[in-house]
Amino acid sequence: MDNFLLKQLPGVPKSHIYQLLRSGQVRINGGRAKAERKLVKGDEVRIPPVRAADKAQTARPPDAVLNALRAAIVHEDEHYLAISKPAGLAAHAGSGVPYGVIESVRAWNKYEFIELAHRLDRDTSGVLLLAKTRPALLRAQRALKHGEADKRYFALLVGKWRGEDRDVDAALVRNRLQSGERRVQIDEDDGKPSKSRFSPKARYRDATLCEVQIFSGRTHQIRVHALALGHPVAGDTKYGERSDNKPLRDLGLKRMFLHSHFLQLPAQGDFGKLLLNAPLPDELRDVLDRLPRPR
């Protein structure tokens, strides 16, 4: 289905085409269409009115962003490019976001084919994988979709952690509030299965640094699961409390403390095992250095 739409809507960004599919605006025989749906002769496809972006009006990422991403490359081979994405930069363009990582990498004019293999929230930093061939893209997407990839994050959580590792197995659903804001909530009836494992790595007087392994890749998964444990992610303005975040801001935390530090894809077919690391940015290490230790 996605390939059909790409041919029918030349000039429309791929990110927008996938958004149309996810939001249910594309219908096949009256029903919702998924990207992987195989079309057969006789299917009736409804495509909503879409206006292709004027390339002349497309914002070119600033040279400073292009150069910063070149400096943030943590791995490159014939199949993949991996970048340690800075916080504040989206993975791709969207509503009100003129460019992201993928548009910036394409602006290098270096690759015949380059696509995001997955996504990170705009406010999350760390390993972001891009594929340089379609087989490499499909290999990565399969591994991520079927839980074969090992994805780990560092998250500073508010409050004292009691005990050791804790798992959260709670289904998540995305909702839109009356204000238009999108939020993710736990909903065992209508949500999608989601599992995270939180492992404490360093304990501070009023916070805990955890490594978080995710076994699914839902929107805002770590943030909502952390909230469910009673330990929201430090600096999270959507799900955290202002009273909890203010002392951390006073210590220099100017962003959400969530960083994708490790990604591993298993060997598959002609592809060898892929192991990626991205160390904590200096601004997050500086915050840890300033945090009071337990008394």
Supply the residues annotated as catalytic. 121
What is the β-pairing status of strands 207-214 and 115-116? unpaired
Cross-strand partners of 131: 80, 115
Phi first, then psi: what are they for 244, rounded to 5°? -75, -35
What is the β-pairing status of strands 195-203 and 166-169? antiparallel
Cross-strand partners of 117: none
Strand positions, DSSP E, 77-225? 80-85, 115-116, 125-131, 150-158, 166-169, 172-176, 182-186, 195-203, 207-214
Query: Position 201: which residue type?
Result: K
Cross-strand partners of 233: 157
Cα 266–Cα 270–Cα 273 angle in degrees, nearest 5: 25
Write the CB contacts of 234 (distance below 8 Å, at least 6 apart in sequence): 155, 156, 157, 158, 207, 240, 244, 245, 248, 253, 256, 257
What is the β-pairing status of strands 207-214 and 258-265? unpaired
